[in-house]
């Protein structure tokens, strides 16, 4: 028990030392000569067009929900493929019902023009 704790402590200290050495080398080799607009994250050196806490259009949320619906479909299909071999026709019918429910949701979103980006 003590030897595993000592090994974990050694790895932690070695990692912390490596981070400190790399940070020191980065500052010593390439000093920071960037100006303020280049230091703003995620803008590529340009001034941000909007504040980070600005509101997003509701279409972003609709697209996110649709993405999650399709993502959950894939999450449930992978284990289903394993169970299908064992269960047979029952598993097939259950998955078809699941896909039909998702298809009804997509058709509803299509009818309401939630998929159009205008």
Q: Are residues 27 and 39 in the same domain?
A: yes
Q: Are residues 16 and 70 in the same domain?
A: no
More confident: 86 or 13 = 13
- Write down the mean pLDDT value for the chain: 80
Q: Are residues 42 and 68 in the same domain?
A: no
Q: Which of 33, 54, 75 is the last residue of a domain?
A: 54
Q: Are residues 61 and 22 in the same domain?
A: no
Please state the rounded mean pLDDT for residues 74-94.
84
DSSP characters over the chain: -HHHHHHHHHHHHHHHHHHHHHHHHHHHHS-----HHHHSTTSTTSPPSS-TTPPPPHHHHHHHHHHHHHHHHHHHHHHHHHHHHHHTHHHHHHHHHHHHHHHHHHHHHHHTT-S---
Q: Are residues 96 and 111 in the same domain?
A: yes
Please state the rounded mean pLDDT for residues 94-112.
86
Instruction: Determine the distance from the C-alpha atom of residue 53 to the mean position of all C-alpha atoms in its chain, rounded to a whole number.
Output: 20
Q: Examine the pLDDT at 33 and tell me if it is beyond 90.
A: no
Q: What pTM was computed for the model?
A: 0.45
Q: Are residues 117 and 63 in the same domain?
A: yes
Domain limits for position 15: 1-54
Least confident residue range of 7-11, 25-29, 51-55: 51-55
| Count of beta carbons in the 10 Å neighbourhood of residue 39 | 10
Give pLDDT tens digits for 35-66: 666 666 665 656 667 776 777 777 777 778 77
């Amino acid at each position: 028990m003590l030897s595993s704790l000592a090994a974990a402590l050694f790895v932690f200290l070695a990692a912390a030392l490596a981070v400190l050495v790399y940070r020191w080398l980065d500052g010593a080799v390439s000093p920071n000569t960037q100006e303020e607009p280049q230091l703003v994250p995620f803008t590529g050196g340009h001034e941000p067009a909007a504040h980070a806490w600005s509101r997003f259009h509701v279409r972003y949320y609709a697209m996110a929900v649709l993405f999650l619906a399709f993502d959950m479909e894939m999450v449930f299909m992978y284990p289903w493929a394993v169970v299908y071999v064992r269960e047979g026709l029952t598993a097939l019918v259950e998955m078809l019902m699941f896909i039909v429910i998702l298809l009804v949701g997509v058709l509803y979103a299509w009818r309401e023009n939630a998929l159009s980006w205008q």
